[in-house]
Structure formats: structure tokens, C-alpha cells
Chain A
Amino acid sequence: KNEVEQSPQNLTAQEGEFITINCSYSVGISALHWLQQHPGGGIVSLFMLSSGKKKHGRLIATINIQEKHSSLHITASHPRDSAVYICAVRVQGAQKLVFGQGTRLTINP
């Protein structure tokens, strides 16, 4: 079993829909990251959080440390949100990141 599990693996939705991507992890962490990778391949950090909730524009990330679970939400989704979204955790006591397999999101116009 992977230390970081994401669901769903693939998600297709219509423009305007509310999107939720989930991440569960099995190790103690000091922080969790949500990353975005566009078809061109570049990786961009969206959020880094260790508790609670963060919001940036139409993106919202939440984390529940007790349940070892995080969610990434996209409101009013748009075709330009189409990308692979990757959850990564920073293992407690270490600096390295452990990655989920990613969720491929496709938003159709």
C-alpha cells in the first residue's frame, strides 16, 4: 500500500462544476503539498498546509491531521484547470516529499 493515496485517479467534469480531489496518507507528516502539473510538464506548488484550510482564488485546500486526509476543491471549474493534481507529504522529521500518484482532471467546455 502506498503511503499517499489519491482519489479519483481520473476525473472528467463539465465547465462550472465543483471539483473535489482527495488525498489520504498513512505516515506522520509535518506538511502536505498540493501540486499542479500541466500537459507541458511543469510542476507548480499550489498549497502547502499543516492544518486547517487555505484558499487561493477558486482553489481551496483542507487538511484533517487526525484523520490523515486532505482535499483539494476547485469552484466554478474551467477548462484551463485541466491538469494533473499531485498530493505530496513531508514526512515528519525529514525534508523529503512522498508523492501520491496524481489525479488527472479534465474540464470540458
Chain B
Amino acid sequence: DAGVIQSPRHEVTEMGQEVTLRCKPISGHNSLFWYRQTMMRGLELLIYFNNNVPIDDSGMPEDRFSAKMPNASFSTLKIQPSEPRDSAVYFCASSPTRLSYEQYFGPGTRLTVT
């Protein structure tokens, strides 16, 4: 299996621009998680989906952030408009079933907003 796939791996953009991060979970996994990692705050959950339905989005910082999962094999995290404080590494992870605790992380997308 290819594992969790994220794209792009690196993104540099200017403040105010729209940024879209993409994630393909492991085939057959029903849960998908978006995390953000910064030096100051470490790893934080942004949102997670079960069977394509958002379950907990309490970690989404503000309305500039949105996430979708249109089908079982694809999810996006969008930031519009982006700000320098959004600079971080964004990880996507997937989990086999709703009752399984094991999570498999993607390689992450390093976002720099200038």
C-alpha cells in the first residue's frame, strides 16, 4: 500500500492567497484526520471525518479554514485568505475503522505564507 498521500509536499504563498492542501487516505480506511504542527503549539487536531462526514471541527482555527471530504479517497483543507501565522506543517492521517485506534500519518505539507 502507498500509505497516506499528501500534496503538495511544500507550498510557499503570499499572504491573502488561497491555499488548498490535498490528502488521499489509505484505501479502506474510514476515518481521516487533519493536524497542524507548529513549533509553538506542537501537533493539534484541526478536524476529522468518519465515513466522509465531519465529526469534530472544533480545532479549526477560524472561518478562513475549511475542509471537505467529497468521497472516501480524497480530502482537502483550504485556507482562504492565508496569513503568515498559518505557516506550519499540515499532516493528514487515516484510520481503518471508526473503532480502530491506530492512525497512519502522511508525510505532511510544509506551508509557508509570506
A residues contacting B by CB (< 8 A) are 30-31, 33, 35, 41-45, 48, 86, 88, 90, 94-102
Contacts and interface: CB of A to CB of B under 8 A. Distances in A.
Contacts, number: 51
Interface of B: 31, 33, 42-45, 48, 50, 55-56, 59, 89, 91, 93, 95, 98, 101-105, 107-108, 110
Q: Closest 10 interchain pairs by CB?
A: A43-B105, A99-B43, A31-B101, A101-B42, A96-B45, A48-B101, A41-B108, A42-B107, A99-B42, A48-B102
A45 B104 contact: yes
A12 B89 CA distance: 25
A97 B44 CA distance: 8
A52 B33 CA distance: 27
Contacts of A98: 45
A100 B42 contact: yes
Contacts of A43: 91, 93, 105, 108
Given A42-B108, A43-B91, A90 B42 contact: no
